[in-house]
Amino acid sequence: MLVSISPSSERPAWLRAPAPSGDNYHELKRLVTELKLHTVCESAACPNTGECWNRRTATFMILGNVCTRRCGFCAVQKGAPLAVDYDEPRRVAEACAALGLRYAVVTSVNRDDRKDGGAELFALTIRAIRERIPGCKVEVLVPDFQGSGEAMEMVMNAHPDVLNHNIETVPRLYRQVRLGARYERSLDMLAFAKRVRPFVPTKSGLMLGLGENIGEVEQVMRDLRAHQVEFLTLGQYLRPSARHLPIIRYVPQGEFDDLKRLGYELGFSHVESGPLVRSSYHASDAV
């Protein structure tokens, strides 16, 4: 059973991100609103929204903003999914062009209502960005597509520059943290993507502070390397609301530094590790 830290425990200073502000932030917010797009930055209450948007970077979230799964850590709205909008890839590409992006990141909600899990829209979005901005690199952060190799192949055949799928937590906590997901299935999907396109880097990430121990985290890192994952992100879990899973502990920067060193020792080619790190944080640095 997960037991939360004391409600009186003050959030450490290293977890205090500046409030979103600035001209670039407001311009990007206006652009997203006008084009009727969603970003995981807003939907998942990312603490880095102010920093990233002021750098004119954002992670676009396709296939609506309502997820078909009810993971206990995630702030994204849950319920009956929205209708698929086949004009959305064009609008994402338009937003990328308006921002002058040379590196775009695209993710989605889980769409377990669709046989392909939304893979078709990922492929269309990759191609739309490339057509609108030749030379722009595209990273996709995909769901597990319920283990469908056909769906993953559809995405990989659109030639993303990086394929990201988050493992999120250690196997022992899956039933509490990742409802509807399976640890081995996620590993298998990452390995399958690598088999389809061997030269496309694969990426994954974990949240810390949910009750895992350091040995379990190190084993997940070894499992990811065994499945040929090259890029890794490690960050602190932050509770979006009282309805979500509790924070068991705040992980100090020193532990993140130790895990970063281990990551490079294990053979990861790029590791982002720190309390405020999220899946797409400084994503272009890896390539």
Tell me how far apart the alpha carbons of residues 199 and 267 are, in angstroms, rounded to a whole number: 16
Beta-bridge partners for 261: none
In DSSP notation, 166-190 reads: --BS-GGGHHHHSTT--HHHHHHHH
Q: Which residue has the higher pLDDT, 130 or 99?
A: 130
3-state helix, strand, coil in the chain (%, to 5): 40, 15, 45
Integer CA distances (angstroms), 84 to 57, 122, 127, 216, in order: 25, 12, 17, 38
User: Is residue 188 packed enough to be buried (19+ CB in 10 Å), middle (13-18) or exposed (0-12)?
Assistant: middle
Q: What is the mean pLDDT of residues 250-277?
A: 96
Asked if pLDDT for residue 153 goes beyond 90, the answer is yes
Lowest mean pLDDT among 45-59, 120-134, 174-188, 244-258: 45-59
Strand 38-39 and strand 59-62: the pairing is antiparallel
269-279 per-position pLDDT tens digit: 999 999 989 88
Question: Which CATH class for the 29-286 domain?
Answer: alpha beta
- 222 in Cβ contact with 265 (< 8 Å): no
Q: What is the mean pLDDT of residues 157-178?
A: 95
**pLDDT winner (highest mean) among 28-37, 81-90, 264-273:** 264-273
